[in-house]
Amino acid sequence: MTDPITIRPAGAHDVPAIQRIYNREILEGVATLDEWPWTDARRRAWLETYRDEMVIVAQGGATVIGFAYLSPMQKFGFRFTREVTVYIDPDHHRTGVGRQLVEALIEGAHERRLHVLIARITSENAASLALFESLGFERTALRRQFGYKFGRWHDIVETQLTLQSPEEFEALVTPGFRVTVVTTLEEMEEALTVRRAVFIDEQRIDEDEEIDRYDADPATVTDAVHVLGRLDGRPVATARLLLDQPAGDLPHIGRVAVIQSERGRYWGVGVMEALHQEARRRGYAGCTLAAQEYAVGFYAKLGYVARGDVFLDAGIEHRWMDLVFEDAEGGMT
């Protein structure tokens, strides 16, 4: 009796089985054009880099007999596309295992709100081409003599599955980065999710110090403005502007946060510019903030100038910095 097949996420304990399947293909097949077997250390490092991606195995009884995964593209503009890769133990070819793995990846791609899946298959691998085409993949290109292995050239067929129409996708995801003013309690909770990840979980600041009266329902708070930056509909950045400063003083920007995986892009600048616009709209001549010492350079690039000595806040070194808008004539207008 054949053992039922279970599809599940891959873990570190699956490295030996994944190695067995993949390194055999390196030595005997052309599903991969790698020519040198991977070490276990390399595979463990690979699995770690794919921890946020979809890596799955097919298990029959106590034995892993196949694995598959989605690979991200390098360019940011390709973030809604993944490449599908599947490897099956040769002893289990043509048993339906590959189909179950690919179907699981397609389902996972829908759940992750991806738009396109691609697969690159050597032209002589007729069974794999038939499998992918039966699941809706279409041939989009033929790369002649694209790879070389076992002393001969290999053509590569590129296939693609579009998961939904552009209109359906944009209604689902709202692609791109957008900053909005927080106006509802639900949006405030999204902003606090970002701040908790950065300040409480990452920087170990006590929640009692991080969350205060300015973070209540926006409908009840009149002396603070919060903005929320969403990437593809997902909250990734936030900041706030405090308006209860003494007359003539600049409003105070604070709680500027970008989740760790999204730093080094535009998102921090985006929320800062949104608050600058809010300050201008209210007639202020600039803004002030207490920058964490490591972020002084970031704010300096936005035109902020440091003043005074370093001081501690929540056990972290800070420095006061001011920005005067270029079109300001001084003070409040």
- The string of pLDDT tens digits covering residues 156-168 is 999 999 999 999 9
Q: Is 41 exposed, middle or buried (0-12, 13-18, 19+ CB in 10 A)?
A: exposed
Q: At residue 1, does pLDDT exceed 50?
A: no
Structural domain for 303, as ranges: 176-324
Q: Answer whether residue 96 is part of any domain.
A: yes
Instruction: Summarize the confidence of residues 93-103 as an average pLDDT.
Output: 95
Of 267, 271, 270, the closest CA to residue 259 belongs to 267
In terms of DSSP bridges, do strands 116-122 and 81-88 run parallel, antiparallel, or are they unpaired?
parallel
Same domain? For 136 and 193 the reply is no
Q: Is 259 helix (H, G, I), strand (E, B) or coil?
A: coil
Q: At residue 103, does pLDDT exceed 60?
A: yes
Same domain? For 148 and 261 the reply is no
End-of-domain residue from the set 153, 169, 185 = 169
Tell me which H or E stretch contains 93. Answer: none
Q: How far apart are CA 274 and CA 183, in angstroms?
A: 14
Q: At residue 330, does pLDDT exceed 80?
A: no
Instruction: Summarize the confidence of residues 289-294 as an average pLDDT.
Output: 90
Q: How far apart are CA 266 and CA 276, in angstroms?
A: 15
Q: How far apart are CA 44 and CA 189, in angstroms?
A: 36
pLDDT tens sequence across 3-44? 789 999 999 999 999 999 999 999 999 999 999 999 999 999
Per DSSP (E only), the strands in the chain are 5-9, 55-60, 63-72, 81-88, 116-122, 138-149, 152-162, 177-181, 224-231, 234-242, 252-258, 286-292, 305-313, 316-324
Q: At residue 328, does pLDDT exceed 80?
A: no
Q: Answer whether residue 329 is part of any domain.
A: no
Q: At residue 116, does pLDDT exceed 50?
A: yes
